[in-house]
Chains A and B, each alone.
Chain A
Amino acid sequence: MNALEFPRPVERRLLTPGVGVLLALIAVGFCVAVYRFIFGLAAATNLDQEHPWGLWIAIDVATGVALAAGGFTTAALVYVFHRESFHAVARPALLTAMLGYTFVGIGLMADLGRYYNIWHPAWPTMWQGNSVLFEVGMCVMCYLTVLYIEFLPIVCERFMNDERRPRLARACRATHRAAERTMFLFILAGVMLSCLHQSSLGNLMVIAPSKMHPLWYTPILSLLFLLSAIAVGFPMVIVESLYASWSLGLKPELDLLRRLARPASVLLGVYLAFKLGDLLIREEYRHTTEGTAQAALFAVEMVFGVVIPFVMLLVVNERTSGRWLVSAALLVVLGVALNRVNVFLVAYQPPYATRSYFPSAAEFAVTAGLIALLMLLYRVTVTHFPVISQPVGATKP
């Protein structure tokens, strides 16, 4: 039997108990966000003169960018290295990246004091090319545009055979053709831009050597960020794909995802090697036993976020269960998320600190609301657009 699989809209009803939970989180997050915009950052957050960056930068921006890395790693695998058999995961990964980066922008708006000036870096008279953040900002803006262009064919496919709207269908067919012919340019640009800003995101904290805990501060922080972003790409695709299958009641693509485990373990191994090598060369490993919260979190990040999932992914074979696979992948995802939190919050030790920072309930509420909205939009998109591959002729549930 050769049941071909193609991306098609998943026909599911929108309202489920899970979606209800998401809607509740979104409602709370929205109300808190309104509160923040009316009363200011002091009222809503625990940020202070000592801790200018908090949860919104560490999770919404830094972790958001890292976990959207599945988009460019998959694009590189399928379109640059032509591993076409992985085609089925490319579109969901693209959607995750597109939504992820969109929410990086939205999350950043909440954190910016003068959010209405968010366009300033794009204005040539205000360009400041020496700024690492400028590079990150420009690359993220360009990459977000590229992601929307990459998603354009999916939107076109939805309407190009719509007989009730012939004009729209014709326009979509023309756009689709044009997009398909030039897509390789955008795919290459997307991979390049991702490599640039994933690494620059790590370079951000390199400017504050005296404020950073030595376990994380290294001049090659940018390289470590790039390697960890590449390493988290496939695990993120595994987690997201299995979670979507479970949530939408589809047959999980286990065969395909198991085959991602090998490259994922290799990439994670490369990251682990650089991370350990960096620690050894800088001779800062003595800090791992100093018994502080930093040392403990570093150990958790390395053991549970890198070493254990590395071994778990290494032993994946064709009989490995989905539960094992998703556990390993989830550990990588949480490990990289913890790394971003560690670099941006835990490692940051201002010289005149009188207190430590812990996010306020409002900060958690906004972040949770944003993640919930992202998940809801993912669900809405895959039920309306051809993103997830399913066997042709599969009947409705």
Chain B
Amino acid sequence: MALDRRSAINSSATHVFQVLRLVSEAEEPLGVSEISRRLGLPASTVYRALITLEESDYIVRYQNMPRYELGPMPQLLNRALVHRFKLHASARPVLRTLAERTGETASLTVRLGWYGLRLAGVYGSRDIYHRDRLGEVTLLHKSLPGRGILAFLDDRERTAYRAFVEAQGAPSGAVDWRALDTRLAAARNAGLEHEVLTADGLAAVALPVRSPDHGVIASIAINGPVFHPGEDEPADGLRAQRQLEAEIATAPHEFHSPFAHLAVDEIVIRTSPLDGR
């Protein structure tokens, strides 16, 4: 494992962040020896990193055992990052109305490089509802709201997206690009991305949200309604889409991503394999 040896502060901080990232992506709480084995670091280094992280609320012990899981501080930082997007505040009243009218979970996902970041959401009133998580990040093709953005990018951008995913080391055959292209074309024709998850009896739609100067910057998703493209139209969703687009059009520059100054390929985020399912 390559370490940054330029200074003591960097080397120690590097170990601490390695441990923190491992704990944050683990499916279950981890102990010293497991972390030590997975990172190839001495147990004493891992132990020091763990108590340093625990002291600062970045990790917590799991049920008083010597095993650790993510603590409240990273969640607070995630929440603070979400607040940097102006759309977080603007979308919430629109989503509230949408959730009230449909009774379903309504959420907004913004484009961040080649990823979709769930920025806001409101639960509806139905007994069975779809649970979403604020701050969830997935590659665009991996989630319905992400595809609700990807489908409406132009051909050049979709080609660049494929190159990006392949450059990130996606195993050959991991993405069926032909099937994805067919699906995205259908979404463009319908004006929305639609999915029926028969296993749990839920369905979902995602509608693109456009900015006058940046094209598609987000998508509104409604999880729950059974919708038949070509026959019905999700009137409440379209109303929310138009309302948000009208607000963005009043001052488009204010709705730019706080990371708009970065080249799109420069934004590389290690996403959780558990997200976007």
Do these two chains interact?
no
Chain B residues at the A interface, C-beta cutoff of 8 Å: none
Interface residues of A (CB under 8 A from B): none
